[in-house]
Structure 1
């Protein structure tokens, strides 16, 4: 007894063309999406971002804060547009002796990492740090990080950056 194996019917040419066309369409769509992801979004961010210098007192006011007395060497910027939302950053110098009390006076919900005091100021060998969630000013920031670095016996460099998630 001889059993003949069933041979599948050949795929017709119209179905084969349709399948190839769908594969080509899917590949083109995928490549187009990847191209946009690597170039289109980058162009949008690059074109949409605007950085401008601003007074540090203005940046502090927008967060509901006051620039410390005797602040010097102030350089602050505002970055807006694109995917960045609206952020501010800056650096200034102030008397080292006033740094902790100034940080402790800043209003806003404290980001309380483990092992810090009741004022949420983190003490380090090289300086101080503080995180504020949603500062009370007009700037719609989700977080502000303030870092103080000792520059000598009398001077501290203060940097801050806002984050809009």
Structure 2
């Protein structure tokens, strides 16, 4: 599964400098795209702000276990951008040292 398609479904784009990319899609009653990749740690905040400018600020509440930062777009007040195929998007970021971050991205219909 191309990662560009997975992120596009959630209204995003793969960040510059992303590597070790793995992406999947599952579809039955609902559609769910998942992406996992690494990127430079210092670029995470700017990538999230550029990707979801009208979304909430990333935080530490409701993150997956082990994540240092997350973003949840799953309501009318803070949903995916117009044109996205997903009803909800979650992004969990785990810092793997001073220079690298592991990003787990999920976009799905409900």
Per the normalisation by structure 1, the TM-score is 0.54
| Aligned counterparts, 1:1-165, within 5 A | 54-81=1-28, 83=29, 85-107=30-52, 110=55, 112=56, 120-123=57-60, 127-132=68-73, 133-139=79-85, 141-165=86-110
Q: Name the one with the larger helix percent.
A: 1
Against the structure 1 CA distance between its residues 163 and 61, is the aligned structure 2 distance closer, same or farther, given a 3 Å change threshold? closer
Q: Is the 8 A contact 2:92 2:103 kept in 1?
A: yes
Q: Indicate the structure whose relative CO is greater, using CA pairs within 8 Å and at least 6 residues apart.
A: 2
1:82-126 superposed Cα distances (whole Å, 9 cap, x missing partner): x3x11101100000000011111123753x5xxxxxxx2115895
1:4-58 superposed Cα distances (whole Å, 9 cap, x missing partner): xxxxxxxxxxxxxxxxxxxxxxxxxxxxxxxxxxxxxxxxxxxxxxxxxx11122
Q: Name the one with the larger strand percent.
A: 2
Cα separation, 1, equivalents of 2:46 and 2:67: 17
Unpaired runs of 5+ residues, structure 2, are 74-78
Taking only aligned residues, the RMSD between alpha carbons, in angstroms, comes to 2.2
Q: Is the 8 A contact 2:11 2:81 kept in 1?
A: yes
Aligned length: 101
Cα separation, 2, equivalents of 1:63 and 1:163: 8
Larger-gyration structure (1/2): 1
